Chain A
Amino acid sequence: MTEERENVGIVIVSHSPLVAKGAADMVRQMVGDSVPLAWCGGNPAGGLGTDTGAILKAIEEAWSEAGVAVFVDLGGAETNSEMAIEMIGKGRAARIIICNAPIVEGAVIAAAEASGGASLAKVVATAQELSPS
């Protein structure tokens, strides 16, 4: 592992492992190993869906003391991610943010921002600029 652990981590959670992996590949192409990155997709039985346990594991994998930005696709991915963040414990939960941004574009832009050493708040804000609210 050669990741620079000061950089914010990125987690990608999709209902589909192919989508999650594909988005993660695009992030890697952009930032290499400079950003901690993990993805998960699919339900506990391997079908389309999301898996709180897998999300917990992905957050652990991409953990950075600077925090983690999570990108999700549809509703269940968000709800399961929120559940995972609650289960990970208060100390770290405060440093994990689910971004309101498109999963692919959001993750790539966030990773680019993170690779420059930006704070979690800045990384999240940059990704969320993609979603007019």
Chain B
Amino acid sequence: MIVVRDPRPALNPSALMGRVIVACRDAIVAQEAYLSDLDRAIGDGDHGINMRRGLDALAAEQHRLAGMPLSEAMSAAGTILVMSIGGAAGPLYGTLLLEIGKGLAANPSAGIAEVFQQAVVAVARRGKSAPGEKTLLDVLYPISDELMNNTRLPLLAGKIQGFADMTIDMKAMRGRASFLGARSVGHMDPGAASCALLCAAICRELAEADVA
């Protein structure tokens, strides 16, 4: 893939939106089999294909999304993921984006860290889960903390995989993996893995565009 560095000032927002969506889709497509392998170890083995379906649906709508104000685009993207993923990941990722959209609409002057933090809390509520239970929350909460601490995006991008790695030693308390109890220990959570791939891809794209 050729990385084009745009002249400053940064890209217009709609071009950036399209670019972020494509980067997310590419990140998932490149690791689709890996995500399903992780899920086969402690779940039902369909996380890769489910996420692929969601990101393909998002990519198919990228031009429509890029034409919307950011808050509306986030909400629309959330609905697309809910309707296309077809597993618990759908409502979880969907809720994240829907809540970010809602947060941006309610308070346009709020910082992204604050909006993101509230959206992560909404995801935890949707999943009836908390950090430490071997889920994507174990990636989202540390990212939220880093954003609150104003960590710069290139630095944050480099830390994210480490958050997913932390789920290897955790015992699953939610979802299909929890049926395995102690046997879930030793495997990375597939939701944490996909979440790390997506968030790192987004951070890299935004850093590239010099947004933060």
- Chain B: minimal CB distance from A74 (Å): 7
CB–CB A43/B50 < 8 A: yes
Question: Which residues of chain A are near B95, meaning CB under 8 Å?
Answer: 83
CB–CB A44/B53 < 8 A: yes
The verdict on A80 contacting B46 (CB below 8 Å), with A44-B84, A74-B176, A75-B174 known, is no
Within 69-83 of B, Cβ neighbours of A (below 8 Å) are at 79, 82-83
CB–CB A45/B175 < 8 A: no
Question: Which residues of chain A are near B50, meaning CB under 8 Å?
Answer: 43, 49
Q: How many residues of A contact B (CB 8 A)?
A: 18
Determine if B90 is an interface residue (Cβ-Cβ < 8 Å): yes
What is the bound-complex CA distance between A80 and B50, given in angstroms? 14
CB–CB B83/A82 < 8 A: no
What is the bound-complex CA distance between A75 and B175, given in angstroms? 6
Interface string of B137-148 (1 = CB under 8 A from A): 000000000000
Question: Which residues of chain B are near A43, meaning CB under 8 Å?
Answer: 46, 50, 53, 86-87
CB–CB B53/A52 < 8 A: no
Question: Which residues of chain A are near B90, meaning CB under 8 Å?
Answer: 52, 76, 79-80, 83
What is the bound-complex CA distance between A10 and B117, given in angstroms? 37
Determine if A117 is an interface residue (Cβ-Cβ < 8 Å): no
Question: Which residues of chain A are near B92, meaning CB under 8 Å?
Answer: 79
What is the bound-complex CA distance between A44 and B94, given in angstroms? 15
A43 (CB) vs chain B CBs: closest residue:
B86
CB–CB A45/B86 < 8 A: yes
CB–CB B53/A80 < 8 A: no
Q: How many residues of B contact A (CB 8 A)?
A: 23
The verdict on A82 contacting B126 (CB below 8 Å), with A49-B46, A75-B176, A76-B88 known, is yes
Interface residue from B83, B127, B175 paired with A44 (Cβ < 8 Å): B83
B174 (CB) vs chain A CBs: closest residue:
A75
Determine if A53 is an interface residue (Cβ-Cβ < 8 Å): yes
Determine if B91 is an interface residue (Cβ-Cβ < 8 Å): yes
Interface string of B114-133 (1 = CB under 8 A from A): 00000000000011000000
What is the bound-complex CA distance between A50 and B94, given in angstroms? 14
Determine if A47 is an interface residue (Cβ-Cβ < 8 Å): yes
CB–CB B91/A52 < 8 A: yes
Determine if A48 is an interface residue (Cβ-Cβ < 8 Å): yes
Write the residues of chain A forming the contact surface with B, with a CB cutoff of 8 angstroms: 43-45, 47-53, 74-76, 79-80, 82-83, 87
Q: What would 11 more interface pairs be, CB under 8 Å, given A52-B90, A75-B88?
A: A44-B53, A44-B85, A49-B46, A49-B87, A50-B87, A51-B83, A52-B82, A53-B83, A79-B92, A82-B91, A87-B82
Would you give 16 A-B contacts (Cβ < 8 Å), ordered by A? A43-B50, A44-B84, A47-B46, A48-B46, A50-B87, A51-B83, A52-B82, A52-B83, A74-B176, A79-B90, A79-B126, A79-B127, A80-B82, A80-B88, A80-B91, A87-B82
